[in-house]
Amino acid sequence: MRGLMMGRFQPFHLGHLELAKQILEHCDEVIIAITSSQFNYLEKDPFTAGERIEMVHNSIKESNLDLSRCIILSLENQFNIATWSSYIKSNLPHFDKVYSGNDYVKMLLADSNIEVITPEFLERQKFSATKIRSMIISNEEWEQLVPNAVSEFIKKINGVNRLKIINKSDTKPTEH
């Protein structure tokens, strides 16, 4: 059995890692689909799809989860919402169920008879990528909210500076 988790992972944090662990307790494999892969260098999406794949990959390795049970890939947004479920089914490897706490996602997938499991979230208010990005910009302690592999990677690519420049930029790229 294969479970699917989807997210922008901007950045991948400890709540996301916990969800991957939960899925692997119930499924043989997990697909970790990085959504909105075409967006980057924006306030809401500062990291590229490739960078996010590396963050997830490095976090899985560091946590001693079996990487051979994880499929990590990226997926562009589908703008025709009515056909979104068939889009993900045709663009992702086969999955048996989706793990999501997003009511909108649940509604769209239920309309296509795709089983959606509501996972147990690890302190959802604390582990929020939006909050983590804000903390990075304001020089608050954020590193304890992400796997060590993610904080090292963000620092390696000068991601802290990238977020600060994007945040204060006079030229705001068109948001999606």
Q: What is the pTM of this model?
A: 0.92
Residue 173 lies in a domain: no
Token pair listed for 122 = 């690890």
> pLDDT, tens digit, for every residue of 7-61?
999 999 999 999 999 999 999 999 999 999 999 999 999 999 999 999 999 999 9
Per-residue pLDDT at 73:
97
What average pLDDT does this structure show over 128-152? 95
Residue 163 lies in a domain: yes
Q: What mean pLDDT value characterizes the chain? A: 92
Residue 176 lies in a domain: no
Question: How many structural domains does the chain have?
Answer: 1
> pLDDT, tens digit, for every residue of 120-133?
876 767 789 999 99
Query: What CATH number is attached to the domain comprising 49?
Result: 3.40.50.620
Token pair listed for 119 = 């996972």
Per-residue pLDDT at 122:
64
Whether the Cβ atoms of residue 99 and residue 5 lie closer than 8 Å to each other: yes
The three-state DSSP-derived secondary structure of 119-163 is CCCCCCCCCCHHHHHHHHHCCCCCHHHCCHHHHHHHHHCCHHHHH
Residue 175 lies in a domain: no
Residue 121 lies in a domain: yes
Residue 98 lies in a domain: yes
Given a cut of 70, is residue 71 above it in pLDDT?
A: yes
Range of the domain at 130: 2-168
Residue 115 lies in a domain: yes
